[in-house]
Amino acid sequence: MKTGKVFLVGAGPGDVGLITIKGMEAIKKAEVILYDRLANPKLLEFAACDCELIYCGKLPDRHILRQENINELLVEKALAGKMVVRLKGGDPGVFGRVGEEAAALAHYQIPFEIVPGISSGIAAPLYAGIPVTHREHAESFAVVTAHDKSEDGKPLLNWEGLARGVDTIAFYMGVGNLPFICENLINHGKPASTPVILIQWGTFARQKTLQGTLADITAKVVAARFTNPAIILVGEVISLREKISWFERMPLYGRQILLARTGESVSGMAQHLMDQGADVIEFPKWKKKVLPVDLTKVSDYEKILFTSPECVGEFFTALFEGGIDIRKIRADFFGVSSKSVKALNARGFSAKLAEEMSESGDLLIVGDDSILRKNHDNADLMVTSKKELDRQFLPIFKRMLAEADVNTMVFPSSASVEQFVEALKECGLDAADVLKDLQVVSMGKQTLAAVAAAGLPSHGMPERAMKEALVAYLAGQPVEEV
């Protein structure tokens, strides 16, 4: 059997837009992905639906997989002929143990590539408004591990060199050793008044910062119960933060949004919300199988209702492959959601939302087999694909939900409500419990009614069922700062 290949990929610090193009290409081609806790799980959604996903997460008090087991798995999967991606948070060469993994692969003569990533020690400060170097404030920069393999975990460092010779220091994952760090920097010549900032979950909307000095930051951390994952940044350059902070001023900074999803791909709404500073967890994750369809009567209908953006593409692909000229179709086109309408508009049709559809006229509903003829008993149904819950993502979703502090729920369509509720049951979760403390927003009147009918909490809707209106609506509802 031909040996496979391994890509040791840096996922970047958290914001999915910060992964490299080469890293993303590797994810899309992967047959197996071994991923860490600090690699944003949303990146896994770009993998093929049959890609095997293996969690290698590490916490300070426990390891899901020890490093030796990870090395063995990389070798095993590659020797089985697989294209393997080892997805690591930040840059794999900065405290990412990539050298050990590469050595294990080299021992078995397995081909591999190392794909650099953006390190959190640089990215997290920038998202907090702090460049790690500056001509007037900092001409040198160091990245330092805040714990090592010693018995007590306290790093053995050249403290005098750091204190006297480096302007800006980034300590990785060092909250537990913060008193030790501050004490040694002060004892070796760093002024006690030197600014310090802790940046937790840098580049995420849940990013939090805590600022002080070497003299008082430890007490502040204890009072705030500040924890890892966090970068500890030390240096005078922190003073620039007040002038050039930018990420925390974005309209949806602090919004951690749970978005109900009915389609297979990452939605345009999710991307727009993230572009405005929000974290977005889309759930559930679906996979599909396209089915053959009967097009013999397609030109007889007066109305065609599309249940998802994906089925729009499937419908027109089927027409083309069936040799049917679109000009033979006389029906008006409608979409269940604004996304479906936009997919039709993009093809040159003046489509409308389902709520604007009249009762009269023969109706064809185009969609997947999870959409029934609700409120349209006399309609015909064209099933273009079979949609299934991607169960491999259920434990991934539960970990994302546990680590985030979700404060907002968005239902983009009426169809999304029941599917979301049922998928949560597959995770052993009750929708009412999950949503009880969240601001629940509905896109459109039909969606609002579906949320109410499901017995879920509801807090209104934007003026229009558009992503721009949603951003304006959420920006007008301030999130309580922690």
Q: Kindly state the tokens that stand for 136.
A: 């007037």
Read off the pLDDT of each residue in 214-227 and give the average, rounded to a whole number. 97
122-249 CATH, one of 3.30.950.10, 3.40.50.300, 1.10.10.10, 3.90.1150.10: 3.30.950.10
Task: Write down the pLDDT at residue 149.
Answer: 64
Beta-carbon contacts of 177 under 8 Å, excluding residues fewer than 6 positions away, are 146, 147, 153, 154, 155
Q: CB neighbours (10 Å) of residue 482?
A: 8
Instruction: Give CA separation, 19 vs 6, 116, 207, 277, 400, in Å.
Output: 18, 9, 18, 17, 19
Check residues 280 and 153 and name the one with the higher pLDDT.
280
CB 96 within 8 A of CB 88: yes
Q: In this structure, what is the dihedral angle of CA atoms 269, 270, 273, 275, given to the nearest 10 degrees?
A: -110
288-388 CATH, one of 3.50.50.60, 3.90.79.10, 1.10.3080.10, 3.40.50.10090: 3.40.50.10090
Percentage of residues in the chain with pLDDT exceeding 90?
82
| Tens of pLDDT, residues 292-318 | 899 989 999 999 999 888 899 999 999
Q: Is the pLDDT of residue 60 over 60?
A: no
| pLDDT confidence band for 95 (50 / 70 / 90) | very high
Read off the pLDDT of each residue in 123-141 and give the average, rounded to a whole number. 96
d(CA 390, CA 95) in angstroms, rounded, equals 33
Q: Is the pLDDT of residue 61 over 60?
A: no
d(CA 62, CA 455) in angstroms, rounded, equals 39
Check residues 371 and 440 and name the one with the higher pLDDT.
440
Q: Does residue 58 carry a catalytic annotation? A: yes
Beta-carbon contacts of 418 under 8 Å, excluding residues fewer than 6 positions away, are 450, 454
d(CA 343, CA 335) in angstroms, rounded, equals 9
Task: Write down the pLDDT at residue 112.
Answer: 98
Task: Write down the pLDDT at residue 479.
Answer: 45
Residue type, 476: G
Q: Is the pLDDT of residue 64 over 80?
A: no
| Tens of pLDDT, residues 11-40 | 999 999 999 999 999 999 999 999 999 999
d(CA 109, CA 3) in angstroms, rounded, equals 9
Residue among 58, 220, 352, 398 flagged as catalytic:
58
CB 196 within 8 A of CB 233: yes
Read off the pLDDT of each residue in 146-160 and give the average, rounded to a whole number. 79
How many CA atoms does the CB half-sphere of 216 hold within 13 Å?
A: 8
Q: Locate the domains of the chain by residue range.
A: 5-117, 122-249, 256-285+390-475, 288-388
Q: Does residue 36 carry a catalytic annotation? A: yes
Task: Write down the pLDDT at residue 268.
Answer: 87
82: nearest Cα among 107, 105, 58, 56: 105
Task: Write down the pLDDT at residue 58.
Answer: 64
d(CA 37, CA 380) in angstroms, rounded, equals 46
Beta-carbon contacts of 329 under 8 Å, excluding residues fewer than 6 positions away, are 298, 299, 301, 304
Q: Is the pLDDT of residue 102 over 50?
A: yes
Residue among 173, 269, 274, 400 flagged as catalytic:
173
Check residues 264 and 96 and name the one with the higher pLDDT.
96
298: nearest Cα among 217, 232, 384, 234: 384
Choice among 348-357, 370-379, 439-448 with the minimum mean pLDDT: 370-379
Task: Write down the pLDDT at residue 482.
Answer: 31
Structural class in CATH, domain 5-117? alpha beta
d(CA 56, CA 33) in angstroms, rounded, equals 10
Check residues 139 and 373 and name the one with the higher pLDDT.
139
Task: Write down the pLDDT at residue 374.
Answer: 61
386: nearest Cα among 308, 297, 281, 303: 308
Read off the pLDDT of each residue in 134-153 and give the average, rounded to a whole number. 84
Residue among 36, 332, 368, 390 flagged as catalytic:
36
Residue type, 320: F
Task: Write down the pLDDT at residue 478.
Answer: 47
Q: What is the mean pLDDT of the chain?
A: 92
| Tens of pLDDT, residues 184-209 | 999 999 999 999 999 999 999 999 99
Report the CATH number of the 256-285+390-475 domain: 3.40.50.10090
d(CA 175, CA 183) in angstroms, rounded, equals 14
Instruction: Give CA separation, 96 vs 13, 25, 126, 297, in Å.
Output: 12, 21, 21, 59
70: nearest Cα among 88, 82, 83: 88
Ramachandran angles phi, psi of 393, nearest 5°: -90, -5
Cβ-defined contacts of 214-219 (< 8 Å, 24+): 214/182, 214/185, 214/186, 214/190, 215/182, 215/186, 217/178, 217/182, 218/178, 218/179, 218/182
Task: Write down the pLDDT at residue 77.
Answer: 98
Instruction: Give CA separation, 127 vs 95, 133, 202, 475, in Å.
Output: 21, 14, 7, 20
**Is 256-285+390-475's fold the same as 288-388's?**
yes
Q: Is the pLDDT of residue 373 over 70?
A: no
